[in-house]
């Protein structure tokens, strides 16, 4: 049951008929949608017959008009038992939230630095990672360590190698003053937009929590604005209908930002999409109501920070002194071993963090190094693995990497039953493997590694990711 006070408020805000329509929509089934990996799925992204053959566990309905790789499904499959889901071929992402990519269509994102300030579980992070390319960088922050671990897992599975996952307060990232081309704040909120798909959101809702979230949003926006480069773009979003947390947050921000905020370029929004467009000062706003648009409740706003977009970007990441470096450049032997595992190793820089070898794309390598000296980075680039007697024992993340050189080791192609046994970390039949390390694939998409030793196969799939349901 919807909270009584919520029903009263939306009826007041929208009018009785519109408020009733919204509440009725919140008791209907949620749409199911995915966003495809543009590299792992490739040209099939836009061709329905090829797409259905490429991802047979999914039943595609129609494209999401504001998301180039987004698709509605006719029904919700059992994602847990789809090997393509585990291979990172797609991300299960609510349709409304995919709008953030559309809002950046007039922004030069290739090679950009994007800060996703409240990033878990990673839907928007992986979208931004596909947009910035190998020359760009996404810094994905999550203050909660448990949620940050989930975020890091999803970043590994997406496999683009251009994300750094941090765990810190927004203030620490605000100290990266004028450093990001785009800052995205998907703010913690009262979650009214999730009432349809999450019964707990209804039970946990209260007006007191609305006020608490609004205060937290104000603090985050201050730090986000500090981190944004003059001429850069701010995206603010929530999954609530509450004006105090949506338009109200923007109004409170403009009270102190003043003329520093200016309108962004307008992006086309077809009236048939059902999105309610508006403005709050220089901010362009976009609101999803489930009775109007095919998606959950969602609010987004975008504006630019006044100032020239050109010039030399400041690389000072903190007013405080940097901590002792936690990474070191890989030596010649480690670099040579790492190079044979990647398609274009000349694009990479290789570093050691603790006992793990990592690859960072060259254009942002120094940036990631500086970042890791100032804030806690729990994952960055591509974890290649550990070296034993000069040979690499690959990290599970390397299997998902789009830059993996598959010629570096034999490939074990498993059928559906074998693949699910592998994903459960159960014993798998040795006949599908050759002696030594193997890349484990299903439908041609990598799932991880396994090592055959005689008649036995050592299943190297991470225990933390294994399928535990029947």
What are the residues facing 202 on neighbouring strands?
none
pLDDT by 10s per residue, the chain, length 470: 899 999 999 999 999 999 999 999 999 999 999 999 999 997 656 678 889 999 999 999 999 999 999 999 999 999 999 999 999 999 999 999 999 999 999 999 999 999 999 999 999 999 999 999 999 999 999 999 999 999 999 999 999 999 999 999 999 999 999 999 999 999 999 999 999 988 888 988 999 999 999 999 999 999 999 999 999 999 999 999 999 999 999 999 999 999 999 999 999 999 999 999 999 999 999 999 999 999 999 999 999 999 875 555 555 554 445 566 789 999 999 999 999 999 999 999 999 998 999 999 999 999 999 999 989 999 999 999 999 999 999 999 999 999 999 999 999 999 999 999 999 999 999 999 999 999 999 999 999 999 999 999 999 999 989 999 87
pLDDT for the residue numbered 318: 47
**Predicted structure pTM score:** 0.95
Domains parsed from the chain with CATH numbers? 99-305 (3.40.50.150), 321-408 (3.10.450.720), 409-470 (3.10.450.720)
Active site annotation includes 294 = no
CA distance 108 to 54: 31
**Given the residues 239, 294, 401, 441, the one annotated as active site:** 239
What are the residues facing 300 on neighbouring strands?
237, 286
H or E element, residue 451? strand 445-453
Q: Alpha-carbon torsion 422, 427, 431, 437, what sign?
A: positive
Q: Which two tokens stand for residue 235?
A: 């995206």
CA distances from 288 to 124, 296, 342, 397 (A): 17, 7, 42, 35
Residues 6+ apart with CB under 8 A from 303: 233, 234, 261, 262, 263, 264, 281, 282, 283, 284
Q: How many other CB atoms are found less than 10 A from the CB of residue 176?
A: 26
pLDDT for the residue numbered 198: 87
- Burial of 138 per CB tally in 10 Å (0-12, 13-18, 19+): buried
Which of helix, strand or coil describes residue 467?
A: coil
- Burial of 348 per CB tally in 10 Å (0-12, 13-18, 19+): buried
């Amino acid at each position: 049951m919807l909270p009584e006070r919520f029903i009263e408020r939306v009826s007041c805000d929208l009018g009785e008929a519109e408020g009733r329509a919204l509440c009725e929509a919140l008791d209907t089934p949620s749409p199911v949608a995915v966003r495809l990996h543009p590299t792992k799925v490739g040209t099939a992204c836009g061709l329905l017959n090829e797409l259905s053959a490429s991802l047979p566990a999914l039943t595609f309905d129609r494209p999401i008009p504001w998301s180039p790789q987004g698709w509605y499904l006719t029904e919700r499959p059992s994602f847990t038992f789809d090997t393509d889901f585990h291979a990172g071929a797609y991300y299960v992402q609510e349709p409304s939230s995919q709008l953030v990519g559309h809002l950046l269509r007039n922004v030069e994102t290739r090679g950009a630095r994007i800060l996703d300030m409240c990033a878990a579980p990673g839907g928007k992070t992986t979208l931004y990672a596909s947009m910035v390319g190998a020359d760009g960088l996404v810094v994905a922050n999550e203050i909660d360590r448990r949620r940050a671990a989930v975020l890091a897992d999803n970043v590994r599975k997406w496999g683009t190698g251009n994300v750094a996952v941090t765990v810190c307060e927004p203030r620490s990232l605000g100290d990266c003053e004028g450093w990001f081309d785009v800052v995205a704040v998907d703010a913690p909120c009262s979650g009214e937009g999730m009432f349809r798909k999450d019964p707990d959101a209804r039970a946990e809702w209260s007006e007191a929590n609305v006020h608490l979230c609004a205060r937290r949003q104000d603090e985050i926006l201050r730090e986000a604005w500090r981190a944004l480069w003059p001429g850069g773009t701010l995206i603010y979003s929530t999954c609530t209908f509450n004006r105090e947390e949506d338009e109200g947050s923007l109004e409170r921000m403009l009270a102190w930002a003043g003329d520093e905020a200016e309108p962004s370029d307008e992006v086309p929004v077809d009236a048939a999409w059902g999105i309610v467009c508006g403005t709050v000062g220089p901010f362009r706003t976009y609101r999803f109501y489930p009775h109007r648009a095919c998606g959950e409740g969602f609010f987004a706003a975008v504006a630019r920070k006044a100032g020239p977009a050109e010039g030399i970007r400041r690389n000072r990441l903190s007013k405080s002194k940097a901590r002792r470096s936690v990474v070191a450049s890989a030596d010649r032997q480690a670099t040579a071993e790492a190079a044979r595992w990647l398609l274009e190793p000349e694009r990479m820089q290789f570093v050691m963090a603790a006992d793990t070898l990592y690859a960072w794309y060259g254009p942002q390598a120094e940036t990631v190094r500086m970042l890791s000296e100032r804030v806690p980075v729990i994952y960055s680039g591509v974890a290649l693995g550990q070296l034993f007697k000069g040979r690499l024992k690959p990290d599970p993340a390397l299997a998902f990497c789009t830059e993996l050189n598959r010629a570096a080791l034999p490939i074990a192609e498993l059928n559906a039953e074998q693949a699910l046994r592998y994903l459960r970390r159960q014993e798998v039949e040795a006949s599908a493997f050759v002696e030594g390390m193997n890349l484990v694939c299903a439908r041609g998409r990598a799932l991880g590694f396994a090592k055959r030793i005689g008649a036995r196969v050592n299943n190297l799939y991470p225990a933390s990711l294994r399928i535990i349901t029947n």
